[in-house]
Chains A and B, each alone.
Chain A
Amino acid sequence: EIVLTQSPATLSLSPGERATLSCRASQSVSAYLAWYQQKPGQPPRLLIYDAISRATGVPARFSGSGSGTDFTLTISSLEPEDFAVYYCQQRNNWPNTFGQGTKLDIK
């Protein structure tokens, strides 16, 4: 099973700042990586798939990059509604696996 390690565990930033979240895979997942956003009491929401493609309706301030084992989610300028937990997920090898999450909170 592929293990995804996300860093940092918690990221404290202010609105307007740039956020950079990392996801590292225990082996190559090619470009088959997604990012989800989860707010309290809600299911995860797909933001980015295939490492770089934004899902429908996702604002352009969210961008993904990377391939192989190292991936990044960047939020260019944080809005108040962006403070949440973010998970990466790979689908290169079954079982699909998720990371343990990065909590983005308000500084």
Chain B
Amino acid sequence: QLQLQESASGLVKPSQTLSLTCAVSGGSISSGGYSWSWIRQAPGKGPEYIGYIYHSGSAYYNPSLKSRVTISIDRSKNQFSLNLNSVTAADTAVYYCARSRDGYAWVWGQGTMVTVSS
């Protein structure tokens, strides 16, 4: 059974870079037909798509975050990663990785809380 696990991040200082990794087990990240997504959810809010990447390495970002986001994939380690730079308090959220198909998130990680604070 496919499982996704976000790395723990915790506390990030304002203006620094948030870095998370999603480890995929029970399936290959190189499987065709899927995309690998990062989605976040601020406290008390609906989820927000950050972006996604295909096993080919093609990545697509939410225009609201595009200037600050990089999503990468490491097929040898069966994982993908998120970097979000110049963070502010508005980036405080639970960050989820997910396997998506046809634009819907079918399998989710448990999520990791990231707090931006000095």
Contacts and interface: CB of A to CB of B under 8 A. Distances in A.
B102 A98 contact: no
Interface in A18-57: 32, 34, 36, 42-46, 49-50, 55
Most buried by B among A42, A43, A46, A94: A43
Interface residues of A, number: 23
Contacts of B49: 95-98
Contacts of B60: 94
Interface of A is mostly: loop
Contacts, number: 49
Interface in A74-107: 87, 89, 91, 94-101
Tier of interface size on chain B = 20 to 34
B104 A98 contact: no
B105 A44 contact: yes
Nearest to B65: A95
Given A43-B111, A94-B60, A55 B106 contact: yes
Interface of A: 1, 32, 34, 36, 42-46, 49-50, 55, 87, 89, 91, 94-101
Given A1-B63, A100-B46, 15 more contacts: A34-B104, A42-B110, A43-B109, A43-B110, A43-B111, A44-B47, A45-B108, A46-B106, A91-B102, A91-B103, A94-B60, A96-B49, A96-B103, A98-B46, A100-B45
